[in-house]
Structure formats: C-alpha cells, structure tokens
C-alpha cells in the first residue's frame, strides 16, 4: 500500500474517535448500550487477531514471534500497573483519558506494521481498531460530565489523532527494520490486542449484567469481521 493510502486509511479510526466524541458530547449512551458496543468491538478485535495477525506471524520467524510474545506479556502487565498508579494519582476522568492515551499509543504501532508486512493485515486491523476507538471515545467523553461539549470532542479527537500518529510511525519507521523485528512487534501487538479485548473492553462491558443479547452481539462482531476478511 502506498504512503498516501496508508495516511488516508488510518484516518478512519481518527474519524471514529471524533464521531464517538460528538455523540457523547450531545447524548452519552447509557451503560447498557455502551456495554453492547464494547461487546461488539471486542468480538471484532478478537477476529482481527485470530484471522489476520496470528496467521501472518505463523508464516514468519518462530524465534522472533516467541520473543515478541515473551516481551509482550510483561510489557502489558507493566503498562497496566503504571496505568493503575496513574489513575490513583488523578481524578477518575483524567485518569481514564491518560490510560486510554497510553493504550492507543501502543496499539497504533502494530497496526502500522501490518501495512508494511503485506497482505490485508493493516486494513483489517484498522477496521477492528476503528470500532475500539469509537467505544473508547464514547466511554471517555461520556464520562466527562462536568466538561463542555467542545472539550469532550477535542479530547476524543486527540485520542484518535494519537492513534493515527502511532500507526503511521509504525508503518514508516518499522518498515526500515528487519523482518525479525517486524515479526516480534506484531507478536507484541497480538498480546496487546488480546489484552485489550479480554481485559479492557469486556472487563468494562461486564460491569453491566451479562445477557444473551450481549453474547450474541460479541459473536456478531467476531463473525462480521471474519466475513470482511474473506471478502477483502
């Protein structure tokens, strides 16, 4: 994919973040609706990892992939601990925004690398992470009840912009690295995405009582992205 196309495609998650901020600024979704959105987004992220990232890693260096997984687990645990400490030192709303910013800065790199390694990995991950950004911007902007509408939209846009910058750094910086480094980084990304879907999105979604509808929404997101992967 050309440089211009990568720059343009990665604007999709940025647009999703802005849309989420605008929606939350005027009418924040209720906990039940937000839970359903998070279920759907987590299903999409799981499908992206299972259908694109893992198969792409399997075709590359086993040692580099193993190294990436070994690095990824303590890395995400460290980020989690740091985020929890950060939240404890700030108010809840500011803490959530800062933690989300850290997550997105990490998430963007493997998405960008996905465009460089070839195939449709970058595109599929962009679609998956667009739904993640929509969900996160709704949660962050929706929780800022004491802030002005403009501030909510600007913060949501800033989160989307951070992801856009991170994704393009991954594409245009890591593209010059060796295949082994790219593979290891994709493996780290797989760990990050699985943590995101299992712990962050579903963890928050389960704060609302689980229902059969929630389960159906999760699998609808999973199946939808798999169908897109088959058609693209």
Q: Where are the domains of the chain?
A: 3-231
Alpha helices, DSSP H only, in 27-61?
A: 31-48, 54-58
For the question of whether the overall pTM of this predicted structure is more than 0.75, the answer is yes
pLDDT of residue 209: 83
Helices vs strands, H then E, count in the chain = 11, 0
Residue 171: partners with Cβ closer than 8 Å, 6 or more residues away: 6, 10, 112, 113, 115, 116, 122
User: Could you list the pLDDT tens digit for every one of the 232 residues in the chain?
Assistant: 777 888 889 999 999 999 999 998 888 778 888 888 888 888 998 998 888 888 888 888 889 999 999 998 998 888 778 777 776 766 666 666 777 787 788 888 888 888 887 668 888 889 888 988 888 888 888 777 777 889 889 999 999 999 999 999 988 887 778 888 888 988 988 888 888 788 777 887 888 888 899 999 999 999 998 888 888 7
Count of CB atoms situated within 10 Å of the CB of 142: 21
SS3 140: helix
């Amino acid at each position: 994919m050309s440089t211009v196309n990568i720059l343009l495609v990665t604007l999709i998650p940025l647009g999703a973040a802005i849309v989420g901020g605008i929606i939350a600024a005027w009418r924040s979704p209720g906990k039940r609706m937000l839970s359903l959105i998070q279920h759907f987004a987590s299903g999409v992220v799981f499908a992206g990892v299972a259908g694109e990232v893992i198969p792409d890693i399997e075709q590359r260096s086993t040692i580099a992939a193993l190294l990436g997984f070994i690095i990824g687990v303590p890395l995400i645990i460290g980020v989690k601990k740091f985020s929890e400490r950060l939240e404890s030192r700030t108010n809840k709303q500011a803490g959530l925004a800062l933690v989300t910013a850290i997550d997105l800065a990490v998430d963007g790199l493997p998405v960008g690398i996905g465009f460089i390694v070839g195939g449709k990995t970058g595109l599929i991950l962009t679609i998956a992470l667009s739904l993640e950004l929509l969900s996160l911007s709704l949660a962050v902007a929706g929780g800022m009840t004491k802030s002005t509408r403009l501030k909510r939209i600007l913060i949501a846009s800033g989160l989307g912009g951070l992801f856009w910058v991170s994704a393009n750094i991954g594409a245009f910086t890591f593209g010059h690295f060796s295949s082994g480094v790219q593979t290891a980084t994709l493996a780290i990304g797989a760990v990050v995405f699985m943590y995101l879907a299992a712990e962050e999105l579903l963890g928050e979604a389960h704060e609302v009582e689980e229902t059969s509808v929630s389960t159906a929404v999760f699998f609808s997101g999973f199946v939808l992205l798999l169908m897109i992967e088959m058609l693209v």
